[in-house]
Amino acid sequence: MVGNPAIGASGGLAIIWDPRVVSFEVVNSQAHWMSDWVKGIKKNLCFLLVNVYGPTQNKDKRKIWSELKLFLKAIPNQICIIGGDFNAILNPKEKWGGIRKISRSKKYFCEWVHRINLMEIKTMKDTYNWNNRRSGFSFIAEKLDRFFLWGSLIDFPNSLYAEFLPISGSNHYPIQLSITEESKPRRCPFKFELMWMKEDKIMGLVEKWWKEMEITVSEIFGVISNLKVVKNNLLRWNKMHFGNIFETKARLEDETSALNKIFMENEMDQALFLEEKWLLANYEDILAKEKVFWHQKSREFWLSDGDRNTKFFHNSTKQRRTVNRITKIKTSEGKTIEDPNLITSKVVKYFENILNNWEGSNLSFRDDILANIPKIVTEAQNKNLGARFTKEKVKIALM
């Protein structure tokens, strides 16, 4: 355990860790913040952790933000997680009651976050985590605790998410940061990649594949069959011709680097000039495809097509995946499960029980579901659909 002592009834920082899981090394220790290297004992985990306990006085807050800014400037290219009680909000939505106005100190806090490119780690069930324990018009609640990431999520192999824990004898809900290993990706459904549209021939190929199969049985069956044909051809074309853009990008970077080495040792001739021009043109093409790839994955569609901030898109993608991931569930018996395989098993069993057993307690649940499904097929149409096949109908369908 390491820490800074409190001054009277305020301040104070303490860090307690399990030496069987991680090792800690104090880097810097100030009155209102501490920085430590965190290294996993068994897992591939290494980052700089900065714990913050923000002061209440505005002049002290400005001093803390300035100290942290200088500290981060001195450690470039490092992954750093900054978290704790900042005693400040980022926008009026993070406050309930009182004067919902961003004060000068809170405005400076917001500017500090943006100037040093901090990315807030999403808090599950985001809400206020402090209140003044009053009622009526005197009630005030704010979100004062949070975690930030300084650096790139691309270089961080784990998933991050924060959550507020239940209150216990205080007006402050504690905040907890969870660091989980990336789970093995499951098989995903087919999705048309927008980066394929960067290829001039793609629309002609799709049209050709669509026309290869004639509609023989019914219109809807033909559409489904054609979609399957196009999907399989797209996957084959992507593997054989389009290729892995990240492997292609790495190869082009290596070839360009090797060519630059030749330029340094020998004079540039026409052949080398044309080769460099070809490499740079292909590299620009790959960068454009990579930007579209991460653009689509991140769902950040508000940026213009001219922006090529793949780092931002990648961070947005990883953050969205973290938010969309189910990390733990509570069973009907009140037991909390965090193992991914047990979570999958419980969810499957739950829905199997609902969908396969309409008797007893599930009867009302079935009625609730059916009540929200619009009745488009009439009784006459339903009777006709359920009728037995006749020779005449089969003859009409096939001829």
- Domains, in order of start, for the chain: 2-181 (3.60.10.10), 194-324 (no CATH), 329-398 (no CATH)
pLDDT at 126: 64
Q: Residue 164 belongs to what H/E stretch?
A: strand 158-164
Comparing CA positions, the residue from 175, 156, 115, 78 lying closest to residue 315 is: 156
How far, in Å, are 38, 194, 197, 328 from residue 287 at the CA level?
34, 14, 14, 37
Cα torsion 376, 379, 382, 384 to 10°: value is -130
Q: How far is residue 287's CA from residue 154's CA, in Å, rounded to a whole number?
A: 16
Query: What six digits make up the tokens of 73?
Result: 């400037």
Per-residue pLDDT 10s for the chain (399 aa) are 677 776 666 667 888 888 888 888 888 888 889 999 888 876 778 889 999 998 888 888 888 889 999 998 888 878 899 999 999 888 888 888 887 676 777 788 888 898 888 888 888 766 788 888 787 888 888 899 999 988 876 666 667 888 888 765 677 888 888 887 655 555 567 777 777 877 878 888 888 887 776 555 455 556 777 787 788 888 888 777 777 777 888 888 888 777 777 766 666 677 777 888 888 888 888 888 877 776 666 654 444 444 455 555 556 555 555 556 677 888 878 788 888 888 888 888 887 776 666 555 556 666 777 777 777 888 888 887 777 777 777 777 665
pLDDT at 302: 45
pLDDT at 242: 72
User: Who's near 100: CB < 8 A, 6+ residues apart?
Assistant: 92
